[in-house]
Amino acid sequence: MAQDQKRALLAVVLSGLILFGWQYFFAPKPQYDAKPVETSSTSTEVKDVAPDIVDSGVVEAPVGLVEIVLENDTNSYKLNNELSVVDALFRETGSEMHSFFSPSNNGIQFLIGDVYKSIQFDLQKVSSTKASFSSIDGVSGTVELSDKGYLVYSINSVNPFKYRFVFKETLEEDSSGSFLAMGGGAAVKQFAYYTDEYNTLTVDGAERGEALISWVSVDNDYHLFANVLDGKKLLKFHTNEKGVYDLRSPDKVGDLKFKQIFARKEYDYLTGLGHNLQQSIDFGIWAIIAVPILRGLQFFYSIFPNYGISIILLTIIIRMLTFPLQFKSFKSMKKMQEIQPELTKLREKFKDNPQKMQQETMSLFKKAGANPLGGCLPLILQMPVFFAFYRVLYSSVELVDAPFYFWIHDLSEKDPFYVLPVLMGLAMVLNQKLMPTSISDPVQKKVMLFMPLIFAVFMKDFPAGLTLYIFVSTLMGMGQQLFVYKRT
């Protein structure tokens, strides 16, 4: 049983190390540096070059293109007469418009026909939110910007046709052989498609497959651009190491309806748009717990309009709700500490007789009313809540540009002066001093001794909101621990 206790404790420690270690060394860093872009009120604009697509990638062809802008109060899209989106903007705060496309992103291209060729349409702007188009090949239709911010396409053709979407992020190879997004702005973090679940593809990978797809997207941490199909469609897709995401219909159709949306990844906003677009917010396997936590943050923010205060209040509530588990854990740890001298004597006395030592140990546990797993099991049961809170704070767009107080101007960014990570580390050290322990193994003691330092180092570049949560949770845990020890 003593070995079981050690394994359970090490499981908790290793879980934390794996979580923070992976995020610190391997996870993509949040990018939220899209610059405000002014939109033009000019309905048409002639360009000297137009992008075309061939199987090997994107090439330039010297063909003039006509561009129009469809816009309303919240969204603006610039289209050309090949029905490719060359810019998309979304109004977030005040009068600012943020562009999805960085200098490295060549837009969203749409191709049609038996060989997926680029067709130049006669594109006519009917109003500020609607345009019509037609071609000499008998393809015609409309595109309209809805109140929700969707571009709604309706395409009809005299002859059945195939269609293809191409997304492209220009990458350059660094000294290590990895490909990185070039330029500033909202660089694409990943490609994705939705079937009955959310699937992601790396921007510099080489993957291919086919699936019944509801929507496809390219996104960074806090925005996405999605093509939403009219029902599930069979599409073949492939990506390459140069940053091209290519999706094709293998079968011909007589008409096609789909939507395009550039949106901020706010859970409620995306839910309101439908089509399960909120699945693009990566809460992972903890979504069933993460969503109520997000709702709690939103609730407290509606009362106290400061997300730092909301994090503190929600942390206190969670610690109170999990206190029964903590109570049992603290009591069990105290009992284990009390019988530790007797356990040491038993191990020394029966070190050459493991079976007898186990029998005597179990008898001692029963006599003292101690459970060797009682201190660890409640902690393990609380891990899903911890991980879910972590995912909410790390993925939530609500924290972007959300200030706390004093030097914390953005809870989605790291603490610029590392004050919170240091305070968190000190609180964890103090918590260790207060916490009774039955650990006698020198290696385990050293691991536990360095845990506060390891966590503080990992957390120094994490969002300040997440560090604030762990700091407050640690303080609450110490208070609950002192309360239990005084009553037992």
pTM for the structure as a whole: 0.74
Q: What is the pLDDT of residue 363?
A: 85
Residue among 387, 306, 372, 374 at smallest CA distance from 22: 387
Structure tokens at 322: 């999990």
**pLDDT tens per residue, range 104-124:** 444 567 777 665 677 889 999
Structure tokens at 141: 């239709």
- Answer whether residue 319 shows pLDDT above 70: yes
Q: What is the pLDDT of residue 157?
A: 92
* Burial class for 416, CB neighbours closer than 10 Å (0-12, 13-18, 19+): exposed
Give CA–CA dist 49/65, Å, rounded.
7
**pLDDT tens per residue, range 239-296:** 988 888 999 999 999 999 999 998 888 999 999 999 999 999 988 888 899 999 999 9
Across 367-376, average pLDDT: 68
Q: Give strand pairing partners of 180.
A: 172
**pLDDT tens per residue, range 79-101:** 998 888 888 888 876 556 777 76
* Burial class for 441, CB neighbours closer than 10 Å (0-12, 13-18, 19+): exposed
Domains observed in the chain: 2-30+287-487 (no CATH), 45-280 (2.70.98.90)
Q: What is the pLDDT of residue 98?
A: 73
